[in-house]
Every structure is written in structure tokens, then in C-alpha cells.
């Protein structure tokens, strides 16, 4: 136990009291920055039991530790209405989640009782003293919080990894090289369309609040009716257009799966409303075919198509669009009334930004650099199981002639199986030395953010922090997205295993995907 704090003269010492279950504790008031409600938390994969997650404190990422876990008392069965987070001062602030905050008290230094603290201390606890309050009825132990945090979350430096030879099925290619030649595919009226990734800024959910603007003229053309209105996007108004209407497809009411594909057309950013986001596809030029002349000659929606891409085994046809020809000129002329300042601002955006694919596991959101994502696909109907491999390895698939290991991220992160698996997706991920598929609950959007808006991963969490390369804090939406490091995600424990997959095919037996995941996604 630490030595008691010396009293500063005869001035009283101020403490903030709080409760964990029925026990009273205290922290020196000068160690407390503020008290807030426990924020919504993003859970860190495989984090220590004492770390509840990463919270959002007015736009800043804040690690939230559990007082119960630090004191060896386990976690509450359900969040308490009285629970609060005590934000501690320091260069790297951390919050301490407690069952209830009591009061700010002033204690004479002579009333501090070291002996009382020694009598009540339990293994793993650290106190600097104790005092009686509430008319001598209750005893509050003064928590020595820094040693507890240091013990529970001892930071570990990221060790340098020796270079590893990539597997035969995935030559060692830098992740940044994988970003070229991709399509972002989406659906409208049950048909699949795509745009080249370089024409897409982001893919975001369609907000509930979409403002429909009056056309202003009784003679407004039918073409202008494709406009859905405007939405707030990055503190400006984004014009919205329905892909169904642009392609002369039957209209449909908005659903929760509807997305907005933000594309650039000249100096303008425009929103393309689609039924749902579908996949990220690698663009193989050999699989791209021109539009048949009979369709190219038409003046309807088919004339907007640029080419046809044969995805998968070649039977899946994806119509490639072009943002430059998708919007009719008369619509663009009416929109092109913005001033030069806004045009210059839009043109300068994206110069120092990073793009991320966002996916879900349970109630948590994670992001991967889009440059490290080869493609996103539906879960195959069958997987080939590899004997004597870790439980999180679902098996392997043959992806266009290459053996691809498939990792279940739920099992990898010690999460329970997914009950409803219809939206599961397989992300084909490439790190510096490996290539693998990871099973996730769903893929939700593609985000582009300035690099300086990405907060570093906190040092507090130790080993699991190595999985997290940064934190994307979407303050206005109340969301925190943990950005994962592809190298750590794929190579932390299974580097040697992934390197051997090129030789594993002859030793495997096929099993239905229903035992490893859904039959359909």
C-alpha cells in the first residue's frame, strides 16, 4: 500500500466520493476533471476485462475503464441508471465508470486513517488512506487509481516483425497497390450496377431528414423530377438523385437499406440514392465487355451504361456506370450555379484524406483501409475445412484459382455466433504479407475522412491496442469507429498458418457453409 498523502498545512483536503456496489470510495478532487454520464462505447476486440470500451467525450476519444473490474468485483448484470463516468486528469485522459457518484467533501488531514484502509484492503487493491463521513457512519477508501490502471492496462510497444514470405496464393504485394481497379457495386430494382472507385467519394446511409425542394416552374422537365431533394453533408447541402429515376426504372419508397453514393461530377458533389450497397469488386479488364449495340443505340436509361462487367464465375452481370454521363446536361446546368469559392473548396477536398470500409460485428463498427480491401462478396455456399486449425478458421475457398483462408471475426474476437446471418459478408483483405477472407456481420458504408481527424489508438489498452490503428469519431452522429490494422488483424497469431494454405488443399474435405455460417448472404 502506498504512503498516505501529506497534508498541505492545515488546509482541508477535497475528495469526490463514489460507490461500487455498497462500498464507498474516493478520489482526490484535483485528479478529477469532470463527471459525465457513461457514453455510448465502442468495444475494443479482446480488450482486458477492466476496459469497457472507447467513448465519445465532446468529439474526443476517451477510454472508459470499469471500477468494478479494476477492484475485482466483476461487472454489473445491467447498466445502472445511476452509473457515471469520472473523467481523470492527465495527458491521456481516461474515465472510470462507477455505480454512482456521491458528493464532494472536505476532510481535515488529521482525519485520514491509514490503518482503516489497511484493514479493508483486498488483494489487487491500492489505497492511500480512508476517512469517515456522513456523521462517521460511512467509511470511504481513497483509491490509488494510477497503479490499478497501470497493472490492468500495461502498455506494450508494438514489436518489430521480421519480414515474412507471402503464401504462394498471395504474393507479397503492398496493400496500397490493391486499391487500383475496383468497382463499388449497388442495387436498384433488383439489378446490380457499379461505379469505378475513383469516382466515389463515400457511401453513406440515406438520412431520415431529406428536404424536397420545389422545382419553381410549372414546366419543369421530367428529367428534373429525378431529384430527391437535398441532405446535409459535411456542413453543406448535397443534391440527391434517385438512380432508379435516372435509369427509367420503377420508383420505390425509401428503406433502411437505402444508401447515398456520393460522386463527383465536375466541381460538384452529388448524391446518388440506391436501394442498397452490394460489394467491392476487383476490376479485371479481361472481364469488361462493351454495351451491345442494340442497347447503346437507345435513348433511355440503358444509354447511361458504360460497359458490362462479368463478375464471379462470369454469369453475374454488373452494369458499369459513369458519373460524367449519368446526369443529364439540363439538370447539371441548373445545379451549376454555385459560386467559385464553393467550387474551389470542393476541388481541394480529398487531397489529404483516407478512405475506409466500415463493417459491423454485433453492435460495434470497425473500419479497414479501402486500399487493403481486395473485394467484398457474399458468403460462398461451401467452404473447405482444414483439419487441426484454430476454431476461428472457417476453412478455405477457391477464389479465381487462388486458395483463400476464411476467418470468422466473431470467433476471432470471442463473440457468440450470429443468429440472423442473411447480411453476412466476406471481406477479402490484403495485408503487407498475407491475403485472407474475414467473415463479418454486414458491410455498411465507405467513409472518407481527413487524415488529421483520425485519433490515435489509446495507449491504455495494451496488447489489444495493436489491432487498432486509429479511431474515427463521428461526433455529430454519435458514432465511434475503430480502425483496424490489416497486418495485425491477419498476422497476430496465424502468420505461419496463412503461409501454409497453398499446400492445404489436398488434405481437406468439403462441408456445407451452413455449419460455418449462412448458406446465403
Examine residue 128 and state whether it is found in any structural domain, yes or no.
Answer: yes
State whether 365 and 508 are in the same domain. yes
Kindly report the number of other CB atoms within 10 A of residue 162's CB atom.
5
Examine residue 17 and state whether it is found in any structural domain, yes or no.
Answer: yes
Decide the pairing of beta strands 353-361 and 364-369.
antiparallel
- Among candidate residues 318, 348, 378, the one where a domain is terminated: 348
- Among candidate residues 348, 380, 412, the one where a domain is terminated: 348
Q: How far apart are CA 104 and CA 276, in angstroms?
A: 52
Q: How far is CA 328 from the centre of its chain?
A: 36
State whether 317 and 338 are in the same domain. yes
Q: Does residue 410 come out as left (phi exceeding 0), alpha (psi in the -120 to 50 range) or beta?
A: alpha
State whether 281 and 414 are in the same domain. no
Nearest CA among 383, 440, 384, 433 for reference residue 411: 440
State whether 331 and 409 are in the same domain. no
State whether 363 and 509 are in the same domain. yes
Report the pLDDT value the prediction gives residue 381, as an integer from 0 to 100.
83
State whether 344 and 365 are in the same domain. no
Q: How far apart are CA 521 and CA 424, in angstroms?
A: 6
State whether 190 and 303 are in the same domain. yes
> Which grid coordinates are listed for 258?
437505402
State whether 441 and 393 are in the same domain. yes
Q: How far apart are CA 489 and CA 493, in angstroms?
A: 9
Residue 466 gets which letter from DSSP? G
Who contacts 508 (Cβ-Cβ below 8 Å, separation ≥6)?
384, 385, 386, 387, 395, 396
Decide the pairing of beta strands 23-28 and 138-143.
parallel
State whether 278 and 192 are in the same domain. yes
Strand order in the sheet with 23-28: 100-107, 13-20, 23-28, 138-143, 127-133
State whether 305 and 411 are in the same domain. no
State whether 363 and 471 are in the same domain. yes
Q: How far apart are CA 222 and CA 245, in angstroms?
A: 10
Examine residue 521 and state whether it is found in any structural domain, yes or no.
Answer: no
Decide the pairing of beta strands 468-474 and 479-484.
antiparallel
State whether 111 and 194 are in the same domain. no
Domain of residue 21, CATH code: 2.40.50.180
The parent domain of residue 40 ranges over 13-152
- pLDDT tens column, 257-292: 899 999 987 778 899 999 999 889 999 999 999 887
Q: What is the mean pLDDT of each run of 10 residues along the chain (521 residues)?
A: 48 94 92 92 80 84 88 70 90 88 93 67 74 90 86 55 40 40 92 93 87 53 57 86 87 80 84 92 92 61 78 89 76 54 52 89 92 91 80 84 87 83 87 86 92 79 69 80 85 61 48 44 36
Examine residue 160 and state whether it is found in any structural domain, yes or no.
Answer: no
- Among candidate residues 314, 348, 382, the one where a domain is terminated: 348
Examine residue 285 and state whether it is found in any structural domain, yes or no.
Answer: yes
Who contacts 83 (Cβ-Cβ below 8 Å, separation ≥6)?
37, 38, 76, 97, 98, 99, 100
Examine residue 157 and state whether it is found in any structural domain, yes or no.
Answer: no
Examine residue 5 and state whether it is found in any structural domain, yes or no.
Answer: no
The count of domains in the chain is 3
Examine residue 243 and state whether it is found in any structural domain, yes or no.
Answer: yes
Amino acid at each position: 500500500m502506498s504512503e498516505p498523502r501529506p497534508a498541505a498545512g492545515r488546509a482541508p483536503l477535497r475528495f469526490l466520493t463514489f460507490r461500487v456496489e455498497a462500498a464507498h470510495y474516493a478520489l482526490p478532487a484535483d485528479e478529477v476533471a469532470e463527471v459525465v454520464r457513461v457514453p455510448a462505447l465502442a468495444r475494443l476486440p479482446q480488450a482486458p476485462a477492466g476496459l469497457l470500451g472507447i467513448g465519445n467525450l465532446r468529439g474526443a476519444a476517451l477510454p472508459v475503464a470499469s471500477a468494478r473490474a479494476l477492484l475485482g468485483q466483476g461487472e454489473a448484470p445491467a447498466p445502472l441508471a445511476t452509473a457515471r463516468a469520472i473523467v481523470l486528469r492527465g495527458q491521456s485522459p481516461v474515465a472510470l465508470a462507477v455505480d454512482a457518484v456521491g458528493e464532494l467533501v472536505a476532510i481535515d488531514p488529521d482525519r485520514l486513517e491509514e490503518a482503516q484502509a489497511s484493514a479493508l484492503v483486498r488483494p489487487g487493491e491500492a489505497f492511500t488512506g480512508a476517512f469517515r463521513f456522513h456523521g462517521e457512519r460511512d467509511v470511504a477508501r481513497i483509491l490509488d487509481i494510477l497503479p490499478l490502471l497501470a497493472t490492468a492496462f500495461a502498455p506494450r510497444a508494438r514489436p518489430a516483425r521480421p519480414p515474412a514470405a507471402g503464401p504462394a496464393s498471395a504474393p507479397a504485394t503492398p496493400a496500397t497497390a490493391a486499391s487500383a481497379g475496383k468497382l463499388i457495386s449497388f442495387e436498384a430494382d433488383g439489378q446490380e450496377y457499379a461505379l469505378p472507385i475513383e469516382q466515389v467519394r463515400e457511401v453513406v446511409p440515406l438520412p431520415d431528414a431529406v428536404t424536397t425542394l420545389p422545382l419553381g416552374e410549372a414546366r419543369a422537365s421530367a428529367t428534373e423530377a429525378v431529384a430527391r431533394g437535398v441532405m446535409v453533408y459535411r456542413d453543406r447541402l448535397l443534391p440527391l438523385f434517385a438512380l432508379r429515376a435516372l435509369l427509367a426504372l420503377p420508383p420505390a419508397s425509401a428503406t433502411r437499406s437505402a444508401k447515398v453514393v456520393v460522386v463527383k461530377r465536375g466541381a460538384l458533389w452529388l448524391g446518388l440514392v440506391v436501394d442498397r450497397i452490394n460489394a467491392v469488386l476487383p476490376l479485371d479488364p479481361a472481364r469488361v465487355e462493351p454495351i451491345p449495340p442494340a442497347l447503346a443505340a437507345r435513348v433511355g436509361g440503358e444509354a447511361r451504361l458504360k460497359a458490362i462487367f462479368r463478375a464471379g464465375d462470369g454469369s453475374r452481370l454488373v452494369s458499369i456506370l459513369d458519373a460524367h454521363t449519368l446526369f443529364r446536361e439540363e439538370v447539371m446546368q441548373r445545379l451549376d450555379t454555385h459560386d467559385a469559392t464553393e467550387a474551389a473548396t470542393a476541388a481541394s477536398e480529398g487531397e489529404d484524406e483516407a478512405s475506409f470500409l466500415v463493417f459491423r460485428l454485433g453492435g460495434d463498427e470497425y473500419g479497414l483501409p479501402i486500399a487493403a480491401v481486395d473485394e467484398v462478396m457474399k458468403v460462398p455456399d461451401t467452404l473447405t475445412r482444414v483439419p487441426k486449425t484454430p476454431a476461428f478458421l472457417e476453412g478455405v475457398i477457391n477464389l479465381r484459382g487462388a486458395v483463400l483462408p476464411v476467418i470468422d471475426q466473431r470467433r476471432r474476437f470471442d463473440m457468440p455466433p450470429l443468429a440472423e446471418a442473411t447480411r453476412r459478408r466476406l471481406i477479402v483483405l490484403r495485408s503487407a504479407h498475407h491475403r485472407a477472407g474475414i467473415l463479418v456481420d454486414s458491410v455498411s458504408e465507405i467513409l472518407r475522412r481527413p487524415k488529421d481527424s483520425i485519433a490515435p489508438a489509446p495507449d491504455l489498452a495494451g496488447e489489444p491496442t495493436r489491432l487498432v490503428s486509429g479511431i474515427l469519431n463521428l461526433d455529430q452522429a454519435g458514432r465511434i469507429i475503430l480502425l483496424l490494422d490489416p497486418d495485425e488483424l491477419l498476422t497476430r497469431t496465424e502468420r505461419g498458418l496463412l503461409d501454409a494454405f497453398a499446400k492445404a488443399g489436398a488434405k481437406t474435405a468439403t462441408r456445407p457453409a451452413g455449419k460455418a455460417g449462412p448458406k446465403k448472404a
